[in-house]
Amino acid sequence: MNYQLAPTYQRLFGSYWVLWYSKSNNYSIVELEFKILLDNYFQSNSLDEFASKIALHDDVSDPKLIAKQLQSYLKGCNTAKASIEKANLKFKPSHCKTFKQYDTNGKLIQINYDSELVKKTIHPSIAHLEVKQKEEAQITFDIYLDNDQLCLFRDKQLIRSVPKRDYHLLQGKFVMELLSVIHNKQESDWIGTFHGSTITDGHNSILFVGQSGKGKSTLCAILAANGYELLADDVSPILSEDCHIYHNPSAISIKKGAFGLLQSVVKNFDELPITVFNTSKGAIKYVPFPNTKKNSYPCKAIVMVNYNNGAKLNLENTSVKTLLETLIPDSWLSPNTLHAKQFLDWLETVDIYQLTYSETESVKTELSSLFQKLKKNQ
């Protein structure tokens, strides 16, 4: 019944099935029992046939009610999200009040801002890329407010506009544009951009994810100051061509609560300027690190980070369900059918861990062992 609503891809990870629906670009994580019901539903030509199939497993539940619940689930999974319509906004050069130029992997870009407040949405994380000698830029971005719409233009062509309260959406779009410029790619070349930070030992990389405030950026700053390389902070892009995570030159954002911890770890930390964009985020410092030796590295593990003051160090395997429920909501994953398959294929190759830590020396030792393990398994 209704086989046209079936998932495009389905993949088993441990005791969970990950189902991808192309109409909505939705990744649904379900348990085996639900998957059996779903299979029986699709394999049945009528409600009576479905009832007889599930009676083999469950002679108590109402098959009509189950079918109705499955239909509701499938309708939701096959309902596309409202597409983002590009506003019909014309470029207004008069909005350019100040500008900065940046060297990004040998390419000179210029960003024009209409105010200091708008500049704070982009500049602090890439301030270390600024060049003082002004020359003709290869690519120019304009970012300004127009009737409470925050607009992003690239070479006078509108890329995205959002209500000013949703400035974080424009930040994400700009990072995608920046990464594509740096690596000579188009947005259509990327499988996705993960909301997480990535560290490499020069052979493999580990993607660190977690909810805001759980200490992933702080941990990556500690690792980057102790012999590892920062591949990406906050936005970690994965390319379709090789399924590697690519370098994002943005500095690591560190919240005020971690200032004391990093003062003795990061050289000249106290000299870094403090940025306060809004009261909810509070004071932030952006810590730049040198470029990685290579532009990309294979990612062999994903670690969900949880800083818990006073907690005993613990690194253990966790489920794909736990991971994806944290990773997907704040990440961008391409709706392209090939890219969705590549994402699931890649997910099968990585180890998934949950890390709880409070003390830096022990966590450095533990993650060093993990990198060694990944190297041996190559």
Single pTM value for the model: 0.93
Q: HSE (CB half, 13 Å, CA atoms) of 287?
A: 27
CA 36, chain centre distance (Å): 31
What is the tens place of the pLDDT at every residue in 256-303?
989 998 998 999 999 999 998 777 778 999 999 999 999 999 999 999
Residue of 368, 354, 244 whose CA lies nearest to 295: 244
Q: Is the per-residue pLDDT at 93 higher than 90?
A: no
Amino acid identity, residue 118? V
Domain boundaries, the chain: 3-77, 93-182, 189-376
Q: What percent of the chain has pLDDT over 90?
A: 80
Mean pLDDT computed over every residue of the chain: 93
CATH number for the segment(s) 189-376? 3.40.50
Q: Is the per-residue pLDDT at 76 higher than 90?
A: yes
Q: Is the per-residue pLDDT at 62 higher than 90?
A: no
Q: Is the per-residue pLDDT at 352 higher than 80?
A: yes
Q: Is the per-residue pLDDT at 60 higher than 70?
A: no
What is the tens place of the pLDDT at every residue in 124-136?
999 999 998 778 9
* CA quadruple 292, 296, 301, 303: dihedral, nearest 10: 50
Q: What is the pLDDT of residue 116?
A: 92
The H or E element that residue 362 is part of is helix 360-376
Q: What percent of the chain has pLDDT over 70?
A: 98
- Token couple for 293: 């030796």
Q: How confident is the model at residue 63 (pLDDT cuts 50, 70, 90)?
A: confident
Q: How confident is the model at residue 349 (pLDDT cuts 50, 70, 90)?
A: very high
Residue of 39, 74, 70, 78 whose CA lies nearest to 56: 39
Least confident of 21-25, 168-172, 279-283: 279-283
Burial class (CB in 10 A: 0-12, 13-18, 19+), 194: buried
What is the tens place of the pLDDT at every residue in 199-245?
999 999 999 999 888 889 999 999 999 999 999 999 999 999 999 99
